[in-house]
Chains A and B, each alone.
Chain A
Amino acid sequence: MDKQELKRFKKYATRIRKHIIDEVYHAASGHPGGSLSCTDILTVLYFHEMRIDPNNPQWPDRDRFVLSKGHCAPALYATLAERGFFPVEELPKFRSIESFLQGHPSMKDVPGVDMSTGSLGQGISAAVGMAMAGKLDKKDYRVYVILGDGELQEGQVWEAMMAAAHYKLDNLTVFLDHNGLQIDGKITEVMSPEPVVIKFLAFGWNVIVINAHDYEQIIDAIAKAKSTKDKPTIIVAESIKGKGVSFMENQVGWHGTPPNKEQRDQAIAELDAYLAELEVE
C-alpha cells in the first residue's frame, strides 16, 4: 500500500479514536471498548471504500452501512463527523438531551445513519432487506454491516445469514468484529459461538479471516468480497477490544464504562503522541 495512503488511514482512525474517548467521557456513559475495536474497519469503509456523499445522505444509489452492534455508536458518529456528515463539534454532546446523537444509532435523527440499531441481531436483517431491495431494483450499491461477536448469540443473526445465502446476496458484506469479549466476560465463557468460521461456511457464506487493524488486509478482503458472485461475504476481523488505548486493550471492563478525567487525559495523550509520531514519519 502507498505510504501516504496508509498514513491517511492512521490519522483518520486516530482522530476517530480520540473522538470516541471524548464522546463517552462527556456523556459519562457509552461503549468505548467495542467502538475502538471496529474503528479501523469504519475508517476504510468511509474514507476509502463506500460510495457516499455527505451532502446527500439519502442519495438512493449510495452504498449502505448498518452498525448491527449499535452500542458502538461513538465510533460511527465520530466517523460520520470526520467524513463531513455533521460538525465534529456535535460529538461531545453525544447522549445529551440537547443533541441529535442518540445513545444508539437513530436514522431519523443522525445524518448518514442508514438504519436505526441498538437491539442486537436486527441490524443484519435490515441489511439483508437493503441488499434484497438493491437486487430487485438492479442497482449496484453495496451493503456493509459490522456485527459483534457477542451478537452472534442472538438467533436472529443466523436467520439473517440463512436468508442472505438463500437469496445469493453477493452485494452484502458483513464484518464480524471478533474481539472475543462481551459485557459479562469472554464470549467463549458466556456462551460460545465458536467455531465461527465453520459455521459461516456451513451457512453458505464466503468467509475471509483478517486482522481488523491492518488496513491492507481490510481493503483486500473487501475487494475479494466484491468479486465473489452469488454468495454474501463475512470478513472475520480478528480485533482487539479497546484498540489504541493501552489500558483499555483486551479489558472486558471497558465494554460499557466511560473513562474518568485522568483516564481520559491519559488516553488522549497516548493518541496525540501517536498522531505526532505520524507527523514525523
Chain B
Amino acid sequence: MKKELTIFDNPKNIRRIHMVFFAALVLVLVAEAFVDMHGEFHMESFYGFYAVYGFISYVSLIVIAKLLRKILMRKEDYYDD
C-alpha cells in the first residue's frame, strides 16, 4: 500500500495554513477599497459589511445551534424499541 499522507499532522504546516488564511482575510478586506460595492441596499456600501455579517451569522448560528441541542437532542437509540 502507498505511504499515507501526514502533511496536516505537522503542527508547523497547520500554522502555515493559518498564516496563509489570515493573510487572505486581510486581502479580501483590503480588496474592497478597489471595487465599487454599491448594491441594491444602502447597507452593502458600508465598509466590510459582508465580512462582519458573515462572522456574526456564523457565530450566532453556532450559539443558537448549541442552545437548540439542549431541546432537541435525544439518545441515538431514541426511536428503537
Question: Do A and B make up one complex?
Answer: no
